[in-house]
Amino acid sequence: MNNSNPVSPVQEFEYKAEMKQLLDLIVHSLYTHPEIFLRELISNASDALAKVRFGALTDQTLTEGDSDLGIRITIDPEELTFVIEDNGIGMTEEELITNLGTVAKSGTLGFMQALKEQQKELDGNLIGQFGVGFYSVFMVTDEVTVETRSAKTDSEGYRWKSAGQGTYTIEKIDKPGRGTKIFFKLKEESKEFAEEYRVEHIIKKYSNFVDFPIRLGDKQVNSMTALWQRSKSELKDEEVNEFYKFIANDFQDPLDYLHVSVEGMVSFKALLFLPKEAPMDLLYRQSELENRGPQLYVKKVMIQHECRDLLPEYLRFIGGVVDTEDLSLNVSREIVQSSPVMSKIRQILTGKILGWFETLAKEQPEKFRTFYKAFGPIVKIGLNTDFTNRDKLIELLRFESTKTAEEEYVTLKEYIGRMQEDQKEIYYHSGSNRSQLLAHPNLEYFQDKGIEVLLLSDPVDVFVIPSISEYEKKPLKSIEKADIDFSAEKKAGSESLPENLLQPVLGLFREKLGDRIEDVVESHRLVTSPVTLVSGKDALDSQMERMMKMMQTEMPAGKKILEVNTAHPIIRNLSGMYMANAANPLISIVIEQLYDGALLHEGGLDSTTAFLSRMNDLIEAATLQR
């Protein structure tokens, strides 16, 4: 066939800098499980086969002449050669360059470096999650050849070759059929991967559920069972766990799984999984949820790898398979999206999943805790988006409180159950962490009276909890809101300043702080602290304010109310000082310092320089020899 172009040129390409670093990381850090190279190559072949099978539903010419889809592996223990071949979708020259020459997911290199710096075990188990699986082959070989031809009509064959260093080459070749053939010579230290029993074992371990035959020599190795089609009683945990690890690219067993079989208005079967931990990319970017979802099958054929329309966003960390007979095989993505069948399935699945969480909470509290720790922040989003299931979601909420130990949780129901007799509201306090929350002056009154306060330290809380205005007729209230009724707490006159001394002190604060604050009032909530800041009735919670500031959302700075504990020695002394000499310069230093101290508790003190220099003035005054 050597006609117009007798000598096909070999073009050399250079990897982008990021790619080089990534390859270096992979080859030098991922050596702990070299066997996963095989899982990754099989998974790519299986993806390529699924693509061509799906494409052929609407364009039969794609698989014409070769419709027996599968993967073939050939090894030679003498020569140490390894060949894996598929008749899947293949790649064009351009696809070769983009798919094998660049990192597809932005940020991948960053994630991997961060992990390595944290001394996390950067072993091969993680590699599939990063979309760089192909390169794991460089753990077992020094040079790889990929020969491929796209299934598109009039495509030509190409050979891609690289030693995983700085460059790769591409040349045009004659390749009779569509698909991809990858081959290489194993390094001496990796010669085990040319042994049949070893390779068979690895395929069974990682790739048993690939739904195309994997042939090693002339033997089919994988079982290809559609587990979700079985009845629940026929499922064995061990098998189900293996299946999960395969489809989710996870190396740990799932935390729990749910089998669903529905017949009626719509019919479908599902096998869904809760991971033990939030996957890496979700940890870094919650927006990843948008494009996730279980796999969608129609009559055992995979239609979509990540089908977002099966679950509401706040549940899309759940993986697995949903298989229905109520869609036609050659549906397009758009049709899937708008199909009433899908919305019915989503509605039923959401109900089943929330019921599953509830059962876990009741029957396996330890598992539920693990789940809640990993995914609670995501599930909570549902409170603001899924109003149909809001009540169920509220029941799932868990909080630390002033009466729980760290990492122990209380539900709203439990809170109500142990509320004090005359308590009319549910109190919460939000901030960035438990110890800071517990040290806050606003908590003093509640601690003193033994009133339980929920401690909200999950950043999501400030966006969702204020939207629950009440639970079982008890209003939820932030303890920093100024209109909490402390009237029963009027302290005995002997301790507080009498009215004629009180007003001048409050006036002093008002005059000094001016329009930095909304007002200055006498406090009934403070026990050991001299002053504190609280929000006015309609103001934003200060944690919320901080979040908005972090996200650089435009908003007017909300003014706070300063509450003054007139029973506190500092305030009493200040009053005396003022009476004796209204011009004493220490007076304004003390007021500024008290105000800044209150800001510090809120996490709202911007400049520490002035704070420290005033502190030194005060120390100087305190150490003055009299």
Q: What phi and psi values does residue 351 have, to the nearest 5 degrees? A: -60, -45
Region for 7 from its dihedrals, namely left if φ exceeds 0, alpha if ψ lies in -120 to 50, beta otherwise: beta
CB-nearer residue toward ligand ADP: 144 or 396: 144
400 binds ligand ADP (CB under 6 A): no
Minimum CB–partner distance for residue 90 and ligand ADP (Å): 6
Minimum CB–partner distance for residue 397 and ligand ADP (Å): 36
Out of 8, 21, 92, 99, name the contact with ligand ADP by CB under 6 A.
Answer: 99
**3-state class percentages of the chain: helix first, strand second, coil last, to nearest 5:** 45, 20, 35
129 binds ligand ADP (CB under 6 A): no
CB-nearer residue toward ligand ADP: 88 or 376: 88
Q: Which does 48 bind (CB under 5 to 8 A by kind): Mg ion, ligand ADP, none?
A: ligand ADP
Minimum CB–partner distance for residue 206 and ligand ADP (Å): 14
CB-nearer residue toward ligand ADP: 47 or 253: 47
Q: Which does 85 bind (CB under 5 to 8 A by kind): Mg ion, ligand ADP, none?
A: none
Q: How many residues does the chain have?
A: 626
Residue 202 three-state SS: helix
Residue 54 three-state SS: helix
Minimum CB–partner distance for residue 153 and ligand ADP (Å): 17
Q: Which does 597 bind (CB under 5 to 8 A by kind): Mg ion, ligand ADP, none?
A: none
What does the DSSP assignment read for 370-402?
HHHHHHHHHHTTHHHH-STTHHHHHHH--BEET
Q: Which does 88 bind (CB under 5 to 8 A by kind): Mg ion, ligand ADP, none?
A: ligand ADP
Residue 328 three-state SS: coil
Contact characters 175-214, ligand ADP, x per CB under 6 A = -----x----------------------------------
- Separation between Cα atoms, residue 95 and residue 515, nearest integer Å: 63
The β-bridge relationship of strands 157-162 and 167-173 is antiparallel
Q: Which does 497 bind (CB under 5 to 8 A by kind): Mg ion, ligand ADP, none?
A: none
Out of 19, 56, 89, 109, name the contact with ligand ADP by CB under 6 A.
Answer: 89
Which of 85, 30, 45 is CA-nearest to residue 251? 30
Number of CB atoms found within 10 A of residue 441's CB:
22
- Separation between Cα atoms, residue 237 and residue 256, nearest integer Å: 10
88 binds ligand ADP (CB under 6 A): yes
CB-nearer residue toward Mg ion: 44 or 389: 44
The token duo for 333 is 């993505």
CB-nearer residue toward ligand ADP: 25 or 497: 25
Could you tell me how many residues of this chain bind ligand ADP (CB under 6 A)? 17
Number of CB atoms found within 10 A of residue 218's CB:
6
Q: Which does 132 bind (CB under 5 to 8 A by kind): ligand ADP, Mg ion, none?
A: ligand ADP
The token duo for 153 is 């009509």
Q: In sequence order, what are the residues at sequence separation of 6 or more whose Cβ sits closer than 8 angstroms to the Cβ of residue 414?
A: none
CB-nearer residue toward Mg ion: 100 or 534: 100
The β-bridge relationship of strands 179-186 and 474-478 is unpaired
86 binds ligand ADP (CB under 6 A): yes
Q: Which does 384 bind (CB under 5 to 8 A by kind): Mg ion, ligand ADP, none?
A: none
91 binds ligand ADP (CB under 6 A): yes
Bridge partners (DSSP) of residue 321 are 271, 295
Minimum CB–partner distance for residue 59 and ligand ADP (Å): 17
Out of 40, 452, 541, 602, name the contact with ligand ADP by CB under 6 A.
Answer: 40
- Separation between Cα atoms, residue 218 and residue 164, nearest integer Å: 31
Q: How far is CA 117 from CA 32, 106, 250, 364, in A?
A: 17, 19, 21, 36
Residues 526-585 that bind ligand ADP (CB under 6 A): none
What's the Rg (C-alpha) of the chain?
33
Segment contacting ligand ADP by CB under 6 A, of 85-93, 220-228, 478-486, 573-581: 85-93
Which of 593, 481, 606, 453 is CA-nearest to residue 543? 481
Residues that bind Mg ion (CB under 5 A): 44, 133
CB-nearer residue toward Mg ion: 23 or 561: 23
List interacting residues with ligand ADP (CB under 6 A).
40, 44-45, 48, 86, 88-91, 99-100, 104, 131-134, 180
